[in-house]
Chain A
Amino acid sequence: MSGIAEVTKGLWKENPTFRLLLGMCPTLATTTACDSAVGMGASAMFVLVASNVAVSALRNVIPDRMRLPCFIVLIATFVTIVDLCLNAFFHDIHKALGIFIPLIVVNCIILGRAEAFASKRGVWDSFLDGVGMGLGFTVGLLCLATIREVLGNGTWFGLPVTPEGYQILVFALPPGAFITLGFLIGAMNHVEERRKANG
Chain B
Amino acid sequence: MSETRLLLQSSPHVRDVSSVQGIMHTVILSLVPALIAGVVFFGWRALAVTVVAVASCLAVEAAILRLAGKPVKTALVDGSAIITGLLLAMNLPSNLPFWMVGVGAVVAIGVAKHAYGGLGNNPFNPALVARVFMLIAFPGAMTSWPVTTCNGATDVLTAATPLGIMKMEGAAAAMQAASWWDLFIGNVGGCLGETSALALLLGGLFLLWRRVISYEIPVAFIGTVAAGTAVAWLVDPTKYPDPLWQVLSGGVMLGAWFMATDMVTSPVTRKGMLLFGVGCGVVTCVIRLLGGYPEGVSFSILVMNGLTPLIDRYVKPARFGAEAAQAEGGKA
Contacts and interface: CB of A to CB of B under 8 A. Distances in A.
B99 A168 contact: no
Contact of A173 (B99, B136, B138): B136
Interface string A174-197: 010001001100100000000000
B138 A169 contact: yes
Contact of A168 (B111, B115, B138): B138
A168 B139 contact: no
B99 A170 contact: no
Contacts of A166: 99
B103 interface: yes
Interface string B24-67: 00000000000000000000000000000000000000000000
B136 A175 contact: yes
Interface string B109-152: 00100010000000000000000010011110000000000000
A20 B103 CA distance: 31
A179 B110 CA distance: 12
B99 A169 contact: no
Interface in A148-171: 166, 168-171
Interface in A71-93: none
Contacts of A173: 136
Contacts of B139: 169
B66 to A, nearest CB: 16
A157 B115 CA distance: 30
Contacts of B137: 168-171
Main secondary structure of the interface of B (DSSP, over half): helix
B199 to A, nearest CB: 31
Contact of B136 (A170, A182, A183, A186): A170
A165 to B, nearest CB: 8
A190 to B, nearest CB: 11
Contacts of A168: 103, 137-138
Contacts of A175: 133, 136
A170 B129 CA distance: 13
Nearest to A172: B137
Contacts of B138: 168-169
A182 B139 CA distance: 24
Nearest to B103: A168
Contacts of A182: 115
Nearest to B100: A168
A186 B136 CA distance: 24
A22 B103 CA distance: 31
Given A166-B99, A168-B103, A179 B136 contact: no
A35 B114 CA distance: 33
A182 B116 CA distance: 12
Question: Which of A166, A168, A169, A183 has most B Cβ within 10 Å?
Answer: A168
Contacts of B133: 170, 175
A170 B138 CA distance: 8
Contacts of B99: 166
Contacts of B136: 169-170, 173, 175
B79 to A, nearest CB: 27
Contacts of A170: 133, 136-137
B125 to A, nearest CB: 17
A144 B101 CA distance: 25
Contacts of A171: 137
B54 to A, nearest CB: 21
Nearest to B110: A183
Contacts of B111: 179
Interface in B82-104: 99, 103
A185 to B, nearest CB: 12
Contacts of A186: 115
A113 B111 CA distance: 34
A109 B138 CA distance: 35
A175 B136 CA distance: 9
A186 B68 CA distance: 14
A147 B137 CA distance: 15
Nearest to B136: A170
A179 B132 CA distance: 14
Contacts of A169: 136-139
A163 to B, nearest CB: 11
Nearest to A152: B137
Interface of B: 99, 103, 111, 115, 133, 136-139
Interface of A: 166, 168-171, 173, 175, 179, 182-183, 186
19 contacts: A166-B99, A168-B103, A168-B137, A168-B138, A169-B136, A169-B137, A169-B138, A169-B139, A170-B133, A170-B136, A170-B137, A171-B137, A173-B136, A175-B133, A175-B136, A179-B111, A182-B115, A183-B115, A186-B115
Q: Which 5 pairs across A and B sit closest by C-beta, in order of nearness?
A: A170-B137, A170-B136, A168-B137, A169-B137, A170-B133
Given A175-B136, A179-B111, 5 more contacts: A166-B99, A168-B138, A171-B137, A182-B115, A186-B115
